[in-house]
Amino acid sequence: MAIALGLIIAIILIKYRPVYIVTLSGEEIGYIDSETKFKERIQNEIINMEGNNIDFVSLEEMPNYELKLVSRSQTTNEEEIMVALKENATIMYKYYAVVLNGEVQSFVDNIEEAEVAVNEIKENNKDKSIELDLQITENYTEDINSVSIETVQVAQAQVEQKVAALIKEDEESKMPSINGVILATLPVNGQITSRFGSRSSIRSGAHTGTDICCASGTPIKVVASGTVTFAERNGSYGNLIKVDHGNGVETWYAHCSKLYATVGQQVNAGDVIAAVGSTGNSTGPHLHLEIRINGTAINPQKYLYN
């Protein structure tokens, strides 16, 4: 009896072999030789998957295993099963948003470098008048290709550019303006020697500007961006430059010793356009500054040197 049973088992083992049938959601997806080794492979290659930005990987459903005898001609397809399981896996990616004053500026994938960059920006701007709420937030996605990831260096440059714009905007909001034209700088530094509206024996009427005394040759800066419309000698004004700033606003710079800007030239606030002198009807080196709106002279000291 024992011999007969042994022969039967031997015949079975010659024709058949034990394998595990793998099913997923009740559907047979293949055959493997070892359940234990295959589970280890799932853990190592899927659950513990490593890669850029990968935070964790999960399988919505783990496969089931059933030991069966199959024909020795039946081959296993472990690789195909792994591919099917990876397609069924959910991969969650982590990335970081650099947020300035509640607005996302860029996305990065290196938290350590990002923190260094953010701290550097904060340190460089700690003495500025504006408040900078700059932070890094964690974000997650299943489709990392839909996120535009920047290098930390690029992200830092973008944030610094935005910060510079905010600082400029803040500074400009504190600057005097006329009809939307920002008067960004003083043309010269010096002592006021004659105010708007004053009368003198050397003038035929009331003073149409403000006189600022300073040394001959002192650079004269244009107070706002605009276009030079006049640059030559003009009677009692001496050497005169006129700049049109748009919106009906014009500035005049008179008694110059030298004229550097030319008609038609585009100038930016702070550009040097002339040098202080004493040409024309003048008793000494000074800048005669006029501000005109639609051709009418107004008091410059309402906006500058007040």
Q: What is the domain count for the chain?
A: 3
pLDDT in tens, 95-106: 999 999 999 999
Residues 34 and 22 in one domain: yes
Q: Please tell me the distance from the alpha carbon of residue 251 to that of residue 57, in angstroms, as a whole number.
A: 67
pLDDT in tens, 248-297: 999 999 999 999 999 999 999 999 999 999 999 998 999 999 999 999 99
User: Is the pLDDT assigned to residue 3 strictly greater than 80?
Assistant: no
Which residues on neighbouring strands pair with residue 253, listed in sequence order?
Answer: 241, 289
pLDDT in tens, 220-257: 999 999 999 999 999 999 999 999 999 999 999 999 99
- Of 27, 59, 91, the residue that ends a domain is 91
Q: Tell me, what CATH number does 204's domain have?
A: 2.70.70.10
Residues 267 and 203 in one domain: yes
pLDDT band, residue 2 (cuts 50/70/90) = low
Residues 251 and 148 in one domain: no
Confidence (pLDDT) at 168: 86
pTM, to two decimals: 0.65
pLDDT in tens, 45-66: 999 998 889 999 999 889 999 9
Residues 223 and 241 in one domain: yes
